[in-house]
Structure 1
């Protein structure tokens, strides 16, 4: 994480800066409410005094509250929270962290590849590619999970000896239907992940019991079933990329610690936090990173996910036989 060393600066200004007079008192109330929400709920509370000083200094002479929201991009940068944002009158104000790696081929593919793809490779390896989704309102949980199951049914059989789950184009969305669709791969009767806050307190748990999946206490059910079971502990390779983000990363973490499971590709996008929304007023709210995700072995993910086998570029979704990550995956599965 980036660190900001402003200790002397903060001490110098800490006494008088918060007593500044505002031209518009509603702006001060807005800033104070947002700072309180961050302090109470965010896993990132670094630099709060500096953040408050900067917001006060930039906003004290403004006439309208409408002029303040753009300053919150810098707020989230100082928080080191690129997953959160301020929403004000339908507009989002956040900070986009520059990725250390860029895969131009996959970046272009994300624009056109929107559907699940499945096929059999080398007559005995099941392959399924799952993109991101936009089901933030939880209206497509059934359709998305059933679509995944339908694709699995189209290729699964007694001849399948291993699986490749391709999450390279999974930019996020709703993780519930993805996990539900892949439930049989994750395991049976286990806790396979969850969330912890900045105090190391468990705030959510992902589990499968008696064949039913529960995420943070919410039971998820599927309306479709597999025609042929997924073999227990069958070898699985997960393909990841710099664009595997949020729900894509949660799906990856749900598999980490599973027997005979390997990650191949490039480090993920680093959106491994749970985000919750908090209301400031009728026009605005804060989306804050409130929890870190953990895997089945209680490992906390504060940064991106690293592959077991790093392969930079070499992607070819048109011809998978030439895809360097697929080639490595097949090599691992054949062993």
Structure 2
């Protein structure tokens, strides 16, 4: 009969050998090893890492190629509870979509139709600015996107404007830098208005405006286009959100939380409030991981969606703004 000490030794050796067992293909093992190493070093979701490692090794050890292995990463990200991250391999994306999200059929259709910034004056006193998502992940359009936002502000801003509505309902994400750069005068001046915190709640980057200049993680972003008419300090402001406001759209909304005379109206956001960084696995693959949580100017940490101050579900009408339920509520809050 096996003694308790021998049984324990056998179990430990079996556990170790699970990860040193022979793989059918050495390149598959190297690929899996590197991905696990990157997750362990960088992800904010590590609670299930040993289970993930165990299952990934077990499922991949008899595979013939990395092409077959890539499909396993859908379950990896599901177990990580990271639907903001993904594996990128040979032009394909392997990730997990959050199944517990709201839907809004009207806005979903509009996302496919509306691809540019839109501005309008409502009731001769309220500036309305709609900012959609972008795909500037390579940081090649920061200037043009920011300048376009400012051009729309300049088109409608005047001494008659007494309040603003910034509509982020169609902002599905992208690069947050040009959005913040275009809106910096609304955010404030000489303040830290947000930033990032790692899994240990340690600062990993700050968003600041100093002397009118935007600084992200200490890096200054300059804008080519200036406002032709200033934005008044603490001008009343309503931010509109939807279940499709995600990632960079959520970062933009968070940048205003805690600002005076500011309300968020609409639906809970999409719950992509993490910073994502990409890491190289090999020449054909990289892994995107949620590495940090976002904080607002009051250092509140956002680990899930943004809850609006006033929830208004549905009732959207972007072709007749005065009939739009979220805008109707926004106008009430702005005293119209």
TM-score by length of structure 2 reads 0.94
* Structure-2 residue corresponding to 1:5: none
Within 5 A, what are the aligned runs for 1:254-269? 254-269=255-270
- CA-to-partner distance for each residue in 1:23-74, whole Å, 9 max, x for gaps? 1122112111111110111101121111112111211111112110000000
Q: Please tell me whether the aligned partners of residues 315 and 325 of structure 2 are also in contact (alpha carbons under 8 angstroms).
A: yes
Do the aligned partners of 1:119 and 1:128 also contact (CA within 8 Å) in 2?
Answer: yes
Aligned residue number for residue 43 of structure 2? 42
Does 1:300 find its partner at 2:312?
A: no
Cα pair 2:242 2:267 within 8 Å, conserved = yes
**Deviation per CA, 1:161-188, whole angstroms, max 9, x where unpaired?**
1100000000011111110110100001
Matched with 2:241 is 240
User: Could you tell me which residue of structure 2 aligns to residue 230 of structure 1?
Assistant: 231
Equivalent residue pairs, number: 326
CA distance in 1, matches of 2:146, 2:64: 49
2:127 touches 2:165 (CA, 8 Å); kept in 1?
Answer: yes
2:4 is matched with which residue?
A: none
Q: Determine the structure 1 residue equivalent to 2:3.
A: none
Cα distance in 1 for residues equivalent to 2:307 and 2:27 = 45
1:281 aligns with 2:282: yes
Corresponding residue for 2:108? 107
Q: Residue 126 of structure 2 aligns with which residue?
A: 125
Which residue is equivalent to 2:271? Answer: 270
Aligned equivalent of 1:137 = 138
In 2, the alpha carbon distance for the partners of 1:146 and 1:134 equals 16
Counterparts of 2:314 and 2:266, CA distance in 1: 8
Please tell me whether Structure 1 or Structure 2 has the larger radius of gyration of its CA atoms: 2
Question: 1:251 matched to which residue of 2?
Answer: 252
**How far apart, in 1, do the equivalents of 2:290 and 2:101 lie?**
21
> For 1:334, what is the secondary structure of its paired residue?
coil
- 1:20·1:56 contact (CA, 8 Å) conserved in 2? no
Equivalence for 1:322 = 323
What do the CA deviations read for 1:128-151 (whole angstroms, capped 9, x no partner)?
A: 000001111111111111111111
Distance change in 2, residues 1:13/1:295 (3 Å): farther
Deviation at 1:284, TM superposition (A): 1.2
Query: TM-score, normalization: structure 1?
Result: 0.95
Question: What is the alpha-carbon distance in structure 2 between the residues aligned to residue 295 and residue 167 of structure 1?
Answer: 17
CA offset digits 1:222-243 (Å, max 9, x no partner): 1111111101001100000010
Q: What stretches of structure 1 of length at least 5 have no aligned partner? A: 1-9
- Residue in 2 aligned with 1:6? none
Partners of 1:157 and 1:139 lie apart in 2 by 31
Matched residue, 2:85: 84
* 1:200 Cα deviation after fit: 1.1
Counterpart Cα distance in 2 of 1:14 and 1:331: 63
